[in-house]
Structure 1
């Protein structure tokens, strides 16, 4: 996995966590769910990159 991809995935995960917490604090369930979805998407991308790395070696 390239360092750029890893950084982007980490940034998405952090942004998703912040969005989730903001949704919890304001009682906005849609924003909270969007934050969780963004985190899950970042985790899936991270896993996909790891699989690609495994097959490259």
Structure 2
């Protein structure tokens, strides 16, 4: 996994966490759901890259 991929995946996870927290704090269920989705997307992409890296070895 390249450093750019790691950065993008971490960014998605962190921005998602922030959106989810902001949505929860303000009672905005749509923002909370969007944040949770973005966080999950980053986590899944990161996991997929780790699997690919494991098979390259």
Normalised by the size of structure 1, how large is the TM-score?
0.94
Q: Cα deviation per residue 1:17-45 (whole Å; 9 max; x = unaligned)?
A: 11001101110011101101111000100
Q: What is the CA–CA distance in structure 2 between the aligned matches of 1:41 and 1:12, rounded to whole Å?
A: 7
Report how far residue 48 of structure 1 moved.
0.5
**After TM superposition, which residue ranges in structure 1, 4 or more long, deviate above 4 angstroms?**
none
Question: 1:1-57 to 2 correspondence within 5 Å?
Answer: 1-57=1-57
Q: Which sections of structure 1, spanning at least 5 residues, go unmatched?
A: none
Task: Please state whether the residue corresponding to 2:39 is helix, strand or coil.
Answer: helix
CA RMSD, Structure 1 to Structure 2 (Å): 0.6
Aligned residues: 57
